[in-house]
Amino acid sequence: MSISHIEPHILNTAQSWLSEYYDPETREAVQKMIDEQGADLVESFYRNLEFGTGGLRGIMGTGTNRMNKYTVGTATQGLANYLKKALPDEPQLKAAIAFDSRNKSEYFARIAAEVLAANGVKVYLFDSLRPTPELSFAVRTLKCHTGIVITASHNPKEYNGYKVYWSDGGQLVPPHDKNVIAEVLKIKSVADVKFSGNEQNIEIIGEQIDNAYLDTLKSLSLSPEIIKKQHDLKIVYTAIHGTGYRLVPEVLKRFGFTNVLTVEEQMKPDGNFPTVISPNPEEKAAMQMALELARKENADIILATDPDADRVGMGVRDDNGKYVLLNGNQSASLLIYYLLTQWKNKGKLTGNEFIAKTIVTSELLKDIADSYQVETFDVLTGFKYIAEVIRENEPEKKFIGGGEESYGYLIGDVVRDKDAVASCAMLCETAAWAREQGLSMYQLLINIYHEYGFYLEELVSITKKGKSGAEEIQQMMEGYRSRPPKEINGIQVIKIKDYLLQKEQNLLKGATKPIDLPKSDVLQFYLEGGSKITVRPSGTEPKIKFYFGVKGDLPDKNKFEEVNRGMRNKLEGIIEAMNLK
């Protein structure tokens, strides 16, 4: 269907892709879009892909707003140009590159490697697909100045992405992210991209880094003697067709677990993700086959990793034998509770330790850390900010662990991104530790709620695709800023945090104070009684996200189900009052 009016800059940009610098297949696809004057033309060329919280991410296809050879090549040339400017005295710039199981991931990784090599950068390219956290580990181990991983994480199959890392092993943060983008925008023609040359600068890496990574993760174990006793903990694991297929079973084996069952249909890497609609362990449908196997085998714990193995979903058995899928806040709380308890038991707490979480993650993590007199750092959404906090505080302060509600966790500081390989091992160690005390993971979570307060959270995401969707999301945020709610579901709003304006308003006292975090398009509404609502446009998907959280008390563990129902009703009332449909 043709569109009556195409903005001139869209048409001009598309026509520039008809030059001889683009391959015949690309030119043919662009000419077809120009001839049809349809929505494809607008969506493919109305903007350039930009770095969000997770880097470059988009639908694969032809155009400036798509993941393809030319957008990957241009981004990589911009990165190379920035490296030379930022590090002019380095005799040999070095980069590590990894890729996941998605369609074209290996192809895009090879393009990135060739562009960097042509620019004189020494490239360490993995021989086959690897988890994102292993790329972070490789950057640090090989003392690289940068790293790239080709992945779109848990997005649907039509997407791919491009994450860039700095020398500390964390994703790009200011000013590097903005400076790389500035260099990319300076490239006005793909003729300026060095797509080939200096092939000798590319070195293939693999098993040696795997073993170093796995050995390092094994050193994180806090309870090897308990695992020896509880080695037969029955674990069901699925890689959901992603990169965890080899290293997650291997790390569990190295930790000492002997009873690991895998969902064989989902252990084969496949960018089409044939057994799921979306390869996202946050969604119950993606874990359905694992749930079925767990029921059949009466497993103790279920684990599922996303395509690049940086996020992990977990299922546990309740007291009635029914499997419950925990959310990211619950899994993070179990991990942090276990880590801090064991650090204390082993005399490792010196007063200089800390944990980190994102501003949309449960306050339960802070409550737990406070009880151990361990500092908590709150950061903006995006694990790169947790990596930044680790870097800024080392070596004076020691990072124990941290996480975000979107199923990403990190244990220790050897990796500087969320790590599902390590998290799978440590979640199983937590389960073994609980089992040693006669508790299931479900019962351990109830104990935590009893001790620290009952937190219940839910994420509501609204998808708004394309150019019009982005504009609609912007209008929604402007509306919340200009007309903030005074009450929600009859509960008074007592505080508003605006991270774009970097301002916190206490509505009861009429006072304001600055927020000491970088600017970000995020709003938080705090309600009387401890409930919190966060509104944030996604940096990596065409979505606006609403994070809802309510808090209550659980004085009697035996009344968990009753209190849970009451909390659920309160949460649903607040969600309904926001009128998001």
Dihedral Cα 374, 380, 383, 385, nearest 10 deg:
-80
pLDDT digits (tens, 9 = 90+) for 183-238: 988 998 999 999 999 999 999 999 999 999 999 999 999 999 999 999 999 999 99
Helix 364-371 to helix 328-345 angle (10° resolution) is: 10
Run of H or E residues at 56? strand 56-59
Give the separation between CA 288 and CA 290, rounded to whole angstroms. Answer: 5
DSSP state of 190: G
Within 10 angstroms of residue 189's Cβ, the number of other Cβ atoms is 10
Q: Write down the pLDDT at residue 3.
A: 62
CATH classification of 50-205, choosing from 3.40.50.800, 3.30.1450.10, 3.20.20.150, 3.40.120.10? 3.40.120.10
pLDDT top residue among 538 and 252: 252
Give the separation between CA 95 and CA 146, rounded to whole angstroms. Answer: 5
pLDDT band at 303 (very low <50, low <70, confident <90, very high): very high
pLDDT digits (tens, 9 = 90+) for 126-151: 999 999 999 999 999 999 999 999 99
Q: Which residues pair with 353 in a beta bridge?
A: 398
Q: Write down the pLDDT at residue 495.
A: 97
Q: Quick check: 539 pLDDT over 90?
A: no
Query: What average pLDDT does this structure show over 542-548?
Result: 92
CB contact at 8 A, 164 and 172: yes
Report long-range pairs for 319-325 (Cβ below 8 Å, ≥24 apart). 319/440, 319/442, 319/443, 323/291, 323/294, 323/295, 324/442, 325/284, 325/287, 325/291
User: Omega into 395 within 30° of 0, i.e. cis?
Assistant: yes
Q: How many residues does the chain have?
A: 581
pLDDT digits (tens, 9 = 90+) for 420-467: 999 999 999 999 999 999 999 999 999 999 999 999 999 999 998 877
Q: Write down the pLDDT at residue 540.
A: 66
Q: Write down the pLDDT at residue 2.
A: 58
Q: Write down the pLDDT at residue 37.
A: 86
Q: Which two tokens stand for residue 113?
A: 């490697």
Q: Write down the pLDDT at residue 4.
A: 64
pLDDT digits (tens, 9 = 90+) for 482-495: 999 999 999 999 99
Q: Which amino acid is it at 221?
A: S
DSSP state of 279: -
Let me know the angle formed at the C-alpha of 24 by 18 and 28, rounded to the nearest 5 degrees. Answer: 65
**Percent of the residues in the chain that have a pLDDT greater than 70, as a whole number:** 98
CB crowding 296-319: b at 16 or more within 10 Å, else e = eeebbbbbbbbbbbbbbbbbbbbe
Query: What average pLDDT does this structure show over 243-265?
Result: 98
Give the separation between CA 484 and CA 549, rounded to whole angstroms. Answer: 18
CB contact at 8 A, 371 and 390: no
Q: Write down the pLDDT at residue 467.
A: 78
Run of H or E residues at 44? helix 39-45
Give the separation between CA 447 and CA 127, rounded to whole angstroms. Answer: 45
Give the separation between CA 171 and CA 133, rounded to whole angstroms. Answer: 11
Query: What average pLDDT does this structure show over 147-170?
Result: 95
Give the separation between CA 484 and CA 493, rounded to whole angstroms. Answer: 9
Fold of the domain spanning 225-452: Alpha-D-Glucose-1,6-Bisphosphate; Chain A, domain 3 (3.40.120)
Run of H or E residues at 135? helix 132-141
Instruction: Domain ranges for the chain, please list them.
Output: 1-46, 50-205, 225-452, 455-577
pTM for this prediction:
0.94
Helices marked H in 142-229 — which ranges? 176-186, 207-218, 224-229
Enumerate the active-site residues. 153
Give the separation between CA 559 and CA 543, rounded to whole angstroms. Answer: 37
Tokens 């391959």 found at: 23
Q: Write down the pLDDT at residue 52.
A: 56
Same fold, 50-205 and 225-452: yes
Fold of the domain spanning 455-577: TATA-Binding Protein (3.30.310)
